[in-house]
Amino acid sequence: MKNLVYYLDKPNGSFRATEEEIGEPGPGEVRLRTLRTSVCQSDVVIYRQGLTRMKTWPAVILHEASCEVDAVGPGVRAFSTGALVGLGCDIPCGDPSCIYCGEEGTGDWTSCPNTQATGHEFPGFARKYAILPAWFVKLGPMVRFSSGISADEACHLEPLACTLEGLTRVNNCIENRVAVLIGSGSQGVYALQSCLAMGARKVILVNRGQERLQRVLRDFADPRVVGLPWTEDVRERVLVECKPFNEPHFVMVNASAEAAYRLAVSLLGYGTVLDAHAGVKGAGGKPRIAQEVDLNNDIHYKLQCYQATHGSSMRGISLARDMINEGKLPLLNRMTNPSERFPHTRILDAIDRAADPDSLKVIIDWERG
Ligand SMILES: [Zn+2]
Ligand SMILES: [Zn+2]
């Protein structure tokens, strides 16, 4: 049968629609039909400047995908034709004996030196059909959704999983607690919805751009949510909002900027957990952002916790699947407005839209062409 694959020739290049032959899945393999892909900020970066870890071009990019199982190869029992599935971006290295990714591994495949990612080294979902190899089907981040879940909701799986890794790496820091989220881009908005679903006492959202902050406060309004523009006195205003506590219990950096880290550490108080979730990377590489920590007074006596998450393992993917299946995030579809929906024939427009300062989640529809 015929497949349609969009190859990106080079960073900042163009997408070439190519018709290719695709066969039947072999033993252990699954053939997927792409339904939706959403656009990650990393796709914007890959499109504009490439990534050092991406060595071969042309490339098939896009990693946030929901798909229908189109055919299964001999021996596949976990998936059946017609099932709605979602996929993770970080994937096992493919070695069954790997201590991280293998059959007896820890599952922390983001720690594996040979880790790979969909839409990076491993071909992404800018294609109508994909055959996944047996090791991916067996060990990789592919999960089934319940009936009643839409393809739109399912394509939030991977970015939501990344957020949930951040909210759950340390226990007991969200439920009944005050959370500060710095940055109201898509990771911030997944975090906002997840904190509410996890029973946060209050969520304080800080963002520089007024347009996006207003959009989020309007569309995700809740008595427990407060939005603060990033003014000169934002630190004092956040601390006022934390009352009767003297400081937040959880601070998540979702803005890729040194200023976000500076603000975050200035908020740490008694028992605060900091999740350094957004890395800072510029043309000159990854800048050093130094911070002096008193291991005795701050860490031991004040119980502060510095931690970080990026990407997702099977644990985050499973948490995200459960949250979506259980309807815990009923407003997910509000992250995409009509100006953020594109047919697959307009991938480049979709990537450009995702780069806009007011954009939350751009979805590319593979059933519309
Ligand atoms: Zn992503
Ligand atoms: Zn491995």
Distance 113 CA to ligand 2 centre (A): 7
Query: For residue 190, which ligand has an atom nearest its CA?
Result: 1
pLDDT higher than 90, residue 54: no
Per-residue pLDDT, 257: 95
Of residues 282 and 269, more confidence is placed in 269
Q: Where are the alpha helices (DSSP H) in the chain?
A: 41-49, 134-139, 151-154, 157-168, 186-197, 210-219, 234-241, 258-267, 314-325, 347-354
pLDDT number for residue 312: 93
Q: Longest Cα pair distance anywhere in the chain, in angstroms? A: 65
Which residue type occupies 90?
D
The ligand that comes nearest to the alpha carbon of residue 100 is 2
CATH of domain 2-160+312-365: 3.90.180.10
Query: So what's the pLDDT on residue 229?
Result: 96
Question: In this structure, what are the phi and psi dihedrals at residue 95, rounded to the nearest 5 degrees?
Answer: -90, 115
Ligand 1 (ion): residues with CB under 5 Å are 40, 64, 159
In this prediction, residue 53 has a pLDDT band, given cuts at 50, 70 and 90, of: confident
Give, in words, the CATH class of 170-308: alpha beta
| Cα–Cα distance, 156 to 152 (Å, whole number) | 7
Whether this prediction's pTM lies above 0.85 is answered by yes
Ligand 2 centre and the CA of 313: distance in Å? 12
The whole-number pLDDT of residue 115 equals 87
Cα 102 to ligand 2 centre (Å) = 6
The residue whose two tokens read 């509000």 is 334
Which 8-state DSSP code applies to residue 332?
G
Calculate how far, in angstroms, residue 91's C-alpha sits from the geometric centre of ligand 1: 13
Is the pLDDT at 283 greater than 90? The verdict is no
Are 17 and 11 within 8 A, CB to CB? no
What tokens were used for 32? Answer: 């997927």
Return the pLDDT at 173: 96
- State in Å: Cα 115 to ligand 2 middle: 6
Tens-digit pLDDT profile for residues 311-361:
999 999 999 999 999 999 999 999 999 999 999 999 999 999 999 989 999
Tell me how far the alpha carbon of residue 95 lies from the centroid of ligand 2, in angstroms. 6
For the stretch 200-211, what's the b/e string if a residue is b when 16 or more beta carbons lie within 10 angstroms of its beta carbon?
bebbbbbbbbee
For residue 286, give the DSSP letter: S
Determine how many CB atoms are found less than 10 A away from the CB of residue 261. 19
Q: In the chain, which residues fall in CATH 3.40.50.720?
A: 170-308
Question: How high is the pLDDT of residue 107?
Answer: 86
What would the pLDDT profile of 142-200 be if each residue is shown by its tens digit? 999 999 999 999 999 999 999 999 999 999 999 999 999 999 999 999 999 999 999 99
Ligand 1 mean position, distance from CA 311 (Å):
8
Ligand nearest to the CA of 139: 2
Give whole-number Cα distances, 278 to 52, 107, 120, 327, 347, in Å: 18, 22, 19, 27, 25
Ligand nearest to the CA of 92: 2
Question: Is residue 57 scored above 80 in pLDDT?
Answer: yes
Supply φ then ψ for residue 352, to 5 degrees: -60, -40
β partners of residue 119: none
Cβ atoms within 10 Å of 185's Cβ, excluding its own = 20
CA angle 103, 108, 111 (to 5 degrees): 120
Q: Which ligand is nearest to the CA of 44?
A: 1
CA of 123 to the centre of ligand 1 (A): 14
Tell me the pLDDT tens digit for each residue of 91-140. Answer: 999 999 999 999 999 988 888 999 899 999 899 999 999 999 999 999 99
What pLDDT score does 35 carry? 98
- pLDDT of 224: 98
| Dist. CA 367–CA 356, nearest whole Å | 25
What distance in angstroms lies between residue 264's CA and the mean position of ligand 1's atoms? Answer: 23
Output the pLDDT for position 122. 93
Contacts of 344 (CB under 8 A, 6+ apart): 4, 6, 126, 128, 364, 365, 366, 368, 369
Query: Which residues have C-beta within 8 Å of that of residue 333, sequence separation ≥ 6?
Result: 150, 152, 153
* Contact criterion met (CB below 8 Å) for 128 and 13: no
Phi-psi region of 166 (alpha: psi -120 to 50; beta: other; left: phi over 0): alpha
CA 81/CA 90 separation, integer angstroms: 24
CATH 3.90.180.10 boundaries in the chain: 2-160+312-365
pLDDT digit string, tens, across residues 191-232:
999 999 999 999 999 999 999 999 999 999 999 999 999 999
Measure 92 CA to ligand 2 centroid, in angstroms.
Answer: 5
